[in-house]
Amino acid sequence: MVNEYLASMFSLAGKTALVTGAAGGIGSAVAVGIAKAGANVALCDINTDALDPICNELGSTTAAFKLDVTDVAAFPKTVDEIATKYGSIDILVNCAGINKREGLADVAEETYDRIMNINLKGVFFLSQTVAHKMKAQNSGVIINIGSHNTGPVLGGVSVYAATKTGVLALTRSMAVEWAKYNIRANCVSPGHIKTELTAPTWEHPTRSKYLLDRIALNRPGLPQDVVGVCLFLASDAAAYITGCEYRVDGGCVCGGQPWQYDTEF
């Protein structure tokens, strides 16, 4: 009885998900989690070689698709290919993203454009393309990956923070405009997650301490920590949730490590 109830609420069996940035730390973890919850998963990334191990692990429920999220003109072809292969696209996870840590006054126009194109423009137009498929089937879920920097902002992330704040605003626009097509859109904003790309920060003697002092749970987040909320939002258990931001930050925004205080507990 328990298993049947949980399956009715959280199973993604029979669904198809398109996940961008699927070769990355968070993207690959979310893609694997969605596949293990029963869905077919189209793993999309510019680096398809890195997707082979995931496909080998999960078998026929997954397939790799080369997708450059800056190439808007290529979106319809790839989306059509995925929809034809699986019959539908029920879940879109926009996870592809980049950053370059440098001062606001140091950012070159080329860097600005590249971060904007991948992190925000790509999300906008890929969602628009997939939404046409979701509209035709009168259902769909879009999960956009935001960032800690949609609220508090770290130094040296001006363009990245602007894009991720834009992703959050875009998520709310999707929720408002596409609800009539039974399309839900939510934003998952990871906190300070330890991945291959962020390893230099966590290995830095002062930056790692700065982060840990601001995390109530006193540890880095892991890509697996982001999976659960994405599965929830993709499932029928979240059928009445749209336009929201979910922070996965170990208690960072709520206050982090407390100062010293008197207690007998």
Residue 173 belongs to what H/E stretch? helix 158-178
Residue pair 242/186 in contact (Cβ under 8 Å)? The answer is: yes
Measured from the Cβ of residue 154, the count of other Cβ atoms closer than 10 Å reads 18
Residue pair 166/207 in contact (Cβ under 8 Å)? The answer is: no
Alpha carbons 231 and 248: distance in angstroms, whole number: 13
Catalytic one among 160, 181, 210, 246? Answer: 160
Q: Tell the residue number behind the tokens 């697996």, with chain if given.
A: 224
Partnered with residue 145 across adjacent β-strands are 188
Q: Is 160 a catalytic residue?
A: yes
Widest CA span in the chain: 63
CA distances from 151 to 117, 197, 247 (A): 21, 21, 10
SS3 92: strand
Return the active site residues. 160
